[in-house]
Each structure stands twice: as structure tokens, then as C-alpha cells.
């Protein structure tokens, strides 16, 4: 909250402030933890869930797909930078590779579930 207040007090354009502020806003009241974080991405990756649950709407499915794809992209970049030999953090490379592979298979399952629908035009 203090960081957000400092940024908002700067004498710059609002568009520049928006670039600096976090996309998930902090709490408005002290002793509050702020908005609840969504556990959908975590559940799909950790449980290696095959596709989406039946109770999820198409909008929710697309949101999860986009967020998991973005996570995979970040993991791929981190892996590529950490795999350099004799790096300070080269031990982390294997973890990012595993997470990227989990994300890759999860996105594949999601895409096949989103696109492999029965043809409703056939009688």
C-alpha cells in the first residue's frame, strides 16, 4: 500500500503510473491482505489436471489457458537464461525445465479440449 501511494504521489502522467503499479492492487485497508489470489493456475499445474472441469465456463477456460500460456513463456525465458554454464543460479535450470514441460502438456490438453468439440451442425 505504501509503494502504491508513493507511485501515485509522483508528478508524472497517469499512463506512466499505470506501467509502474502492480496489476493486482494491494489492500485498501491496513491489516487486510487485499484481493484473493486465483488458485486456478496452481491447481491445474500441480495436479496435472487433464483439461478443464465441466463446471468451468468458456470465458474461465480461456482465461486459465492464457494465464498458463504466459507462465510457460516466462518459464521458458528463465530456463534459457539459467542454462548458461557456470552461472550463479544454474541449479534452478532443472526446476524451470520441469515446470515448462508441465505447462506445455497442460496447454496441449487444454487446447485439444477447447478445439475437439462435437460438430453440432451434423444431424
Residue-level pLDDT, tens digit, the chain, 123 residues: 788 888 889 899 988 888 888 777 777 777 766 666 677 887 777 777 777 888 888 888 888 888 888 888 888 888 888 887 777 787 888 888 888 888 888 888 777 777 766 666 666
Question: What contacts 43, CB < 8 A, 6 or more positions away?
Answer: 49
Contact 41, 64 (CB under 8 A): yes
Of residues 95, 113, 122, 4, the one with CA closest to residue 49: 113
Domain ranges of the chain: 1-37, 40-115
Amino acid at each position: 500500500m505504501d509503494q502504491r501511494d508513493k507511485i501515485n504521489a509522483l508528478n508524472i502522467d497517469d499512463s506512466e503510473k499505470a506501467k509502474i503499479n502492480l496489476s493486482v492492487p494491494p489492500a485498501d485497508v491496513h491489516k487486510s491482505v487485499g484481493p484473493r489470489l486465483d488458485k486456478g493456475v496452481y491447481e491445474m499445474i500441480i495436479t496435472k489436471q487433464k483439461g478443464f472441469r465441466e463446471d468451468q465456463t468458456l470465458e474461465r477456460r480461456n482465461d486459465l489457458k492464457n494465464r498458463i500460456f504466459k507462465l510457460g513463456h516466462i518459464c521458458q525465458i528463465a530456463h534459457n537464461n539459467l542454462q548458461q554454464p557456470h552461472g550463479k543460479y544454474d541449479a534452478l535450470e532443472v526446476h524451470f525445465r520441469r515446470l515448462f514441460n508441465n505447462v506445455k502438456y497442460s496447454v496441449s490438453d487444454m487446447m485439444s479440449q477447447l478445439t475437439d468439440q462435437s460438430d453440432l451442425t451434423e444431424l
